[in-house]
Amino acid sequence: MTRYWPSPLVIFSACLVLLGAGGPLLLRVYFVHGGQRLWLSTLSQLSGWPLLVPPICVSLFRSRRKGIADRLLPARLVAAVAFLGGLFAVACFVYSLGAQALPVSTSSLLLASQLAFNAVFAFLFAGLRFTPFSTNAVVLLTIGPAVLGVGPSSGRPAGESSSTYWTGFCESIAAAALAGLVLPLVEVAMARYGRRTGAAARAPPPYVTVMQMQVVMGAAGTVVCLLGMAIKGDFQAMPREAAEFGLGKTKYCLVLFFEAVSWQLFNLGIMGLIVCVSSLLAGVMIAVLLPLSEVLAVILLHEKFDGTKGIALVLSLWGFVSYLHGENAQRQRKLEAKKVAQQAAN
């Protein structure tokens, strides 16, 4: 049987997503210890893009003999990705609203429902074809968050009202829906405005393309966040918030810095999966973070992990495994059919 192995770029992108697991934890640390600035917390999810500028410059310099212009993003793709970066900033802001009220273990489970929204929007905009396995995965990853809704009091932090919990619950679902919309639209923008011709069209895009798209998206999202911070007075409030932060002023800065780095690793990995494979695989990798976030939240933040969350976790993992099995079987059938066609031609 012919086996399908992902390309090194896909494996590298998947590893970046996993390395970004600390982002949700540090976001929760910021809120738990006195952080209240929502636009600032949103900025930390998007502002790590300057870290990509040096490797982009090095990559373009090394390819100068082949022509730097061919490595730059087309203007229409830049415009489309910039618009989606602004929309993604809104999604991150809504996610921050939910993360302010919910434990990491709960918000992570709810965010996993983005795969269902991702699949629906990919079907509508990116031409995704459902298989029995992908359908099963979407259903299971939708039921998981619904299970949490059955018994919300079990996941509600001590001292938090039911209305605050339910508001955060709905905000997390809304963030998942927005993220599920943005990912397929990035795939559509790349397919429509980033087409390559000749032999290059058959190979995965160079990773400098992925980094450039992430820089454009991050920069556009950063502009939206800075405007939000200016309107809400976050710049004036930051010194006071840092002085009153529960872990101290130095750790306040460190939390925001490492949160930005963690989210940047996560975002770059997601962008790499979208560009090199599909938005649905990117959504699946977000779901992969679920068990890792659950374990880290219980160990490091001492969050409660009860039966309701356990059932939701099992359903989500079941959906993820179902998707992987279906994708592997489908790719194997395609490779076998291609091999048979080549033998018949010879």
* DSSP per position, 45-77: HHTTGGGGHHHHHHHHHHTTTT-SGGGSPPHHH
What is residue 206's DSSP assignment? P
Instruction: Give the model confidence (pLDDT) of 98-122 as tens digits.
Output: 877 777 667 766 776 787 788 888 8
Rounded Cα–Cα distance for residues 144 and 277 (Å) = 26
pLDDT value of position 113: 73
* pTM of this prediction exceeds 0.85: no
The CA-to-CA distance between both ends of the chain, in Å, stands at: 20
Average pLDDT of the residues in 250-264:
93
Instruction: Give the model confidence (pLDDT) of 77-103 as tens digits.
Output: 999 999 999 999 999 999 888 877 777
Average pLDDT of the residues in 228-249:
92
Question: Which residue, 218, 214, 271, 263, is CA-closest to 89?
Answer: 218
Q: Which residues contact 57 (CB under 8 A, 6 or more apart)?
A: none
Cα separations (Å) of 296 from 21, 25, 290, 306? 9, 8, 10, 15
Confidence of residue 148 (pLDDT cuts 50, 70, 90): low
Rounded Cα–Cα distance for residues 74 and 23 (Å) = 31
Instruction: Give the model confidence (pLDDT) of 186-233 as tens digits.
Output: 999 988 887 655 444 555 578 889 999 999 999 999 999 999 999 999
Which residue did the predictor score with more confidence, 323 or 256? Answer: 256
Rounded Cα–Cα distance for residues 119 and 126 (Å) = 9
